[in-house]
Amino acid sequence: MNPHKKLLIIGFVWPEPQSSAAGGRMMQLISLLQADGFDITFASPAQDSDFMVDLAEYGVTKAAIALNSSSFDAFIIDLDPDVVLFDRFMIEEQFGWRVAENCPRAIRLLDTEDLHCLRTARQKAFKENRTFQLHDLLVEEVAKREIASILRCDLSLIISGFEMNLLQEVFKIDPALLFYLPFLVDEISEEDLEKLPSFEERSNFVFIGNFLHEPNWNTVQYLKETIWPLIRKDFPEAVLDVYGAYPSQKVLQLHQPKNGFYINGRAADATEVVKNARVVLAPIRFGAGLKGKLLEAMQCGTPSVTSTTGAEAMHADWHWNGFITDDVQEFSKKAIALYQDEKIWKQAQQNGIEIIRNCYQKDSFSGKLLDVIHSLIKDPEAHRLHNFMGSLLQHHTLKSTKYMAKWIEAKNNN
């Protein structure tokens, strides 16, 4: 236990665990660090939203902060945190130099969520109708910003094993600056399994995902235009329920009940929706990180059919919770087989439980992370001494970003 230690989390947005996997991960981090005795303040420059959690209910202090304002300097000097966690590299760019200048001993952690440069480069390759290559990352502007942010921080939390390897092999990041931290979940017991709806009690295919996230919108388009017609051709009674927070008008226009394609908007309870569906469809064509929707499917005992991008780094060498394919004809056939054959379905469900037990157990990662954080708090200088590139970037960023921010602040005050 680490009583009386103070943690400041600076959020890109206020946590919405019912809207996105990123919101769920943030609440996992809060729970883990709070259990270790940290007093937590969550600050963000974002507007309040209707679906954000009530942080006070979790014993977390909420603080609104402003971009490009020296009011943050006074705020952080007064708070004097031991650890600052930046939610995504854009937040570190905005506030990291202020933290370094005003609280130099505070440990700076970065939660990347997923590698934005990987997602961006893959999306560009997809839009340009070409195969993504790892060297695309080396010319990606977002990569230069994101890697600089990782180097400036004492430790970055990386959600995907694929991204851990990429950072070390392509960008030559020192492993001491990285910590592999996938989604963290509790063990699923036999009793939990017995409470789940059975094969016969479930119906319909389902897709679920936040529509502010471009890969989700693209996936739904792909389902509607390419994959769903193939499924309906061989299985005319099939129904697909699409759920997701923040659907735009273009998403809602895909609603077509006569073809069994239902756009249902935000799910009141995503877990209940997935638990009562028979199969999750997720033909994701670009993206990065881990797919919260696919882990949630496993937790709900719901098999899935996904792409190689969807399943990337999610299951180690364990058999998938259903099928993985990038071929549309095969995707359609496997989806129907999984839906109609109880034996295949039950085996897929069991595979998902094995993946959770072997890849996502909270106890396998939480203790190690806390040990690293405690060690950093004890002697940050020893750690930073070995990160010359980080101190170099910190030095130059402090100068350039500081004067840009002061110029913007002066402009805003006129």
Residues 238 and 378 in one domain: no
**What band does 342 get if pLDDT is binned at 50, 70 and 90?**
very high
Give the tens place of pLDDT for each residue, 379-396.
999 999 898 888 888 766
Using CA atoms, how far apart are residues 356 and 358, in angstroms rounded to an integer?
6
CATH classification of the domain holding 127: 3.40.50.2000
pLDDT in tens, 143-173: 999 999 999 999 999 999 999 999 999 999 9
Q: Are residues 200 and 326 in the same domain?
A: yes
pLDDT, tens only, 172-206: 999 999 999 999 998 888 888 889 999 999 999 99
Residues 6+ apart with CB under 8 A from 364: none
Cβ–Cβ contacts within 10 Å for residue 25, how many? 25
Domain that holds residue 29: 5-184+362-413
Domain final position from 341, 359, 377: 359
pTM: predicted TM-score of the whole model, two decimal places = 0.93
- Judgement on whether residues 231 and 127 belong to the same structural domain of the protein: no
pLDDT at residue 242 greater than cutoff 90: yes
Count of structural domains, the chain: 2
Same domain for 207 and 81: no
Q: At what angle are helices 89-102 and 71-79 packed, to 10 degrees?
A: 70
174 lies in the same domain as 258? no
Q: Give per-residue burial for 152-175: e unless 16+ CB within 10 Å, then b.
A: bbbbbbbbbbbbbebbeeebebee
Nearest-angstrom CA–CA distance, 173 and 71: 34
Q: Which residue has the tokens 């966690």?
A: 85
Q: For the chain, what is the mean pLDDT?
A: 94
**Quick check: 69 pLDDT over 60?**
yes
Task: Determine contact, residues 182/163, Cβ cutoff 8 Å.
Answer: no
Residue 17: phi and psi, rounded to 5, are -65, -20
Distance CA 78, CA 102 (A): 10
| Same-domain pairing of 354 and 367 | no
Q: Are residues 50 and 125 in the same domain?
A: yes
Q: Which of 343, 359, 375 is the last residue of a domain?
A: 359
**Can you tell me the distance from the alpha carbon of 340 to that of 356, in angstroms, rounded to the nearest whole number?**
24
Half-sphere exposure of 116 (CA within 13 A, CB side): 21
Q: Is residue 335 located within the same domain as residue 391?
A: no
